[in-house]
Chains A and B, each alone.
Chain A
Amino acid sequence: GESVGLHLPTLSVQEGDNSIINCAYSNSASDYFIWYKQESGKGPQFIIDIRSNMDKRQGQRVTVLLNKTVKHLSLQIAATQPGDSAVYFCAENINNAGNMLTFGGGTRLMVKP
């Protein structure tokens, strides 16, 4: 398949374990954050989002944590499955900048059966 980046940081976890993917964002004025999953040969797929007035948001098997003090975002995946193997990107958005997203460099998650 097509690779989206050859030198991405990689997180390797055992199937069934929890995964935590971290992201440091750059702009203290960012007020909306999104996590995307990108599988080989596909476009980024929306996973979960969070606004800056929240510090935690939960979805199905995923939780996003936002720490504005240190400009840090994390994605927690519970009971990681082989289908979770992909590259994960965080993206930040400053709403007064036309809704453009600024993406982080990505983390490759590899799930071992």
Chain B
Amino acid sequence: DSGVTQTPKHLITATGQRVTLRCSPRSGDLSVYWYQQSLDQGLQFLIQYYNGEERAKGNILERFSAQQFPDLHSELNLSSLELGDSALYFCASSPSDEQFFGPGTRLTVL
């Protein structure tokens, strides 16, 4: 158990809908990262937050957004969902360089 929690574990929704994925980092970790893992793209970095501020952005679509709250939990919002958004979404937290991953949320868009 990495200490990073993610909810929900599974999410099934329809195209065009909006969903919110939630992540609670390890106690004391200020950095939160979001990654997408799909069969054809592998693990791809989406976005990083550090103590509430956006720190780095990767291959994140404009339909996706994230935020980190004062209690350091983070949410990833995915809107106007498409079939191709079906994937595993992982959150990781980090005290410095090492990143510890949560169990992921499996999103299925029908």
Contacts and interface: CB of A to CB of B under 8 A. Distances in A.
A45 B1 CA distance: 9
14 contacts: A5-B42, A34-B98, A36-B101, A42-B104, A43-B4, A43-B104, A49-B98, A99-B31, A99-B33, A99-B55, A100-B45, A101-B33, A103-B42, A104-B42
Contacts of B94: 99
Interface of A: 2-6, 32, 34, 36, 42-46, 49, 89, 91, 93, 95, 97-106
Contact of A44 (B55, B101, B106): B101
Contacts of A43: 2, 4, 90, 92, 101-104
A44 B106 CA distance: 14
A49 B44 CA distance: 19
B62 interface: no
Contact of B39 (A5, A95, A97): A5
Interface residues of B, number: 28
Contacts of B106: 2
Contacts of A105: 42
Given A4-B88, A44-B43, 18 more contacts: A4-B37, A32-B97, A34-B99, A42-B103, A43-B2, A46-B99, A49-B97, A91-B43, A99-B31, A99-B33, A99-B56, A99-B94, A100-B33, A100-B48, A100-B56, A101-B33, A103-B42, A103-B44
Contacts of A6: 39
Overall SS of chain B's interface: strand
B58 interface: yes
B100 interface: yes
Nearest to B106: A2
A42 B100 CA distance: 12
A102 B99 contact: no
Contacts of B88: 2, 4
A45 B99 contact: no
Interface string B66-80: 000000000000000
A26 B7 CA distance: 33
